[in-house]
Chains A and B, each alone.
Chain A
Amino acid sequence: MNEAAAPLTGHLVSDASLDREFEERLAAASTLAFRVAYGVLRQREDAEDVAQEAAVRAYRGFTSLRNRDQFRSWLVRIAWRLALDRRKSERRRGVRELKASVAPTKSPSAEEIAAGRQTEERVWEAVDGLPEKLRIVVVLSAIEGHGMREVAALLGLAEGTVKSRLYEARRRLLERLPCVVSGTSRT
């Protein structure tokens, strides 16, 4: 993969200031796009591919974006959609990848260590079973400590809508995972 990338400015769009603005906004949102994609795919390479594709699509439509302050939420939605499409495509092809998940960056506490691999798999399985509009609320809420307001801004929804969807998602998760305790599961 080409690591030595020249800046966009002056290379593509005739308006250099537009290129510069796109780079700046992308720099602030690319990690979030990656994490959103990872929340669906749970594979680093796949999530990075999706993040790249999302950036390409965002660049194409950047000049027609009415409010460029919405770039972050727009990129998140693009990445989410691309990740879902990729997952559906993999399922249609019958691809069942059981790669190891990425190790978290923070040092887990004893309680977090106790939540073992099996618990993680069961949790993600339950999350994947949620309807799409509930699933994205759960994923965004778990990323970067986003509160209701941030999630609502990213999705372009009212806070009340986000709150009700989050409640519904939690209720369904509790019904699906009645007894997940300390790394082991008992039903």
Chain B
Amino acid sequence: MRCERYEQDLTVGAAGGAIGPDLEAHLEGCAACRERLAEKQALLGRIEQVLTLQLDVEPSAGLRRRVIARVVEVEKARRRMARLGAAAALAAGLAMVLLAGGLAHRSPETSSERRATATGPNVPAAGAMKAERVAPVPSVPTAGAALTPHVVRRRSPPAGARPAAAPEPEVLVPPGQEEALRRFAASLREDAGTPRPLLRATATVESPVAPPPLIEIPVLASEPLSDPADPLERSKS
């Protein structure tokens, strides 16, 4: 007959836990409990034997080589992706720079939308002028003229002309400078390699524009309009 109340203590003892004095004393007088304790210890041994046997297993042949191959494969793929990612990031950065540069040449249209289109025989072919040569015309304000710039848009290229490789930028032209722009565009068409300054139509790189003459400010003879010390003058004010 088993002593049920000692069952848990027997389990503790079989598992390697401490056997209390109560159980120890009981075991001295109870063969059944001694047998039960031995059964539990044997059971534990059998459990561990099963585990040891099951886990004493060798991997399939070539596992080490396959492991190394897997490491190499994964690392090469990771580095390849890293390089692609870096290239994509660089391309995105360049695209942002170009976009920012393009946006910097744009301006919002005014409500009046004064547009000066470059028409006439001086209009270059769409494919002849490069977008980057159409720089903003320097501001040379005329007396009394408003300084509000307006947008110059080129007309669509005539039929049969080569299509532009890139969208043409809008050019800011101060009022009164449309003619200067036309002359500048004409100069580019004549000599695409050397842009000419815009200050004078006849100016060239070899003959730079002469500096403007100094404006002489005459020295005025300064005479007081009235003598503050003159009592007569004081009384008048």
Give A residues with C-beta under 8 Å from B: 1-8, 11-12, 23, 26-27, 30-31, 34-35, 38-39, 42, 44, 47-48, 51-53, 55-56, 59-60, 101-102, 104-106, 108, 111-112, 115, 119-120, 123-124, 126-127, 138-139, 141-145, 166-168, 170-171, 173-175, 177-181
Which residues of B1-56 are within 8 A (CB) of A? Answer: 11-12, 14-17, 40, 43-44, 46-56
If A59-B75, A120-B50, A127-B51 touch, whether A48 touches B17 (CB-CB below 8 Å) is: no
> Which residues of B have CB within 8 Å of A47?
59
Offer 26 A-B interface pairs, CB within 8 angstroms, sorted by A. Answer: A3-B66, A5-B69, A7-B68, A8-B68, A12-B79, A30-B64, A34-B59, A35-B55, A51-B67, A52-B71, A56-B74, A59-B71, A60-B75, A102-B57, A105-B58, A111-B49, A115-B46, A119-B50, A124-B54, A139-B51, A139-B55, A143-B56, A170-B14, A171-B11, A174-B40, A180-B43
Residue B115 CB within 8 A of the other chain? no
Interface of A, secondary structure class, is helix
| CB-CB nearest in chain B for A167 | B16
- Give the number of residue pairs across the A-B interface with Cβ within 8 Å: 149
Query: CA–CA, A170 to B16, complex, Å?
Result: 8
Of A101, A145, A171, the contact of B15 (CB 8 Å cutoff) = A171
Which residues of B89-107 are within 8 A (CB) of A? Answer: none
Query: CA–CA, A66 to B49, complex, Å?
Result: 37
> Which residues of B have CB within 8 Å of A138?
51
For the complex of A and B, the 8 pairs showing the least CB-CB separation, nearest first, are A5-B69, A142-B51, A170-B15, A171-B15, A52-B70, A5-B65, A34-B59, A2-B69
Query: CA–CA, A177 to B168, complex, Å?
Result: 85
| CB-CB nearest in chain B for A53 | B70
Of B43, B59, B74, B76, the contact of A31 (CB 8 Å cutoff) = B59
Q: Are B11 and A175 in contact (CB under 8 A)?
A: yes
If A26-B64, A51-B67, A106-B53 touch, whether A31 touches B58 (CB-CB below 8 Å) is: yes
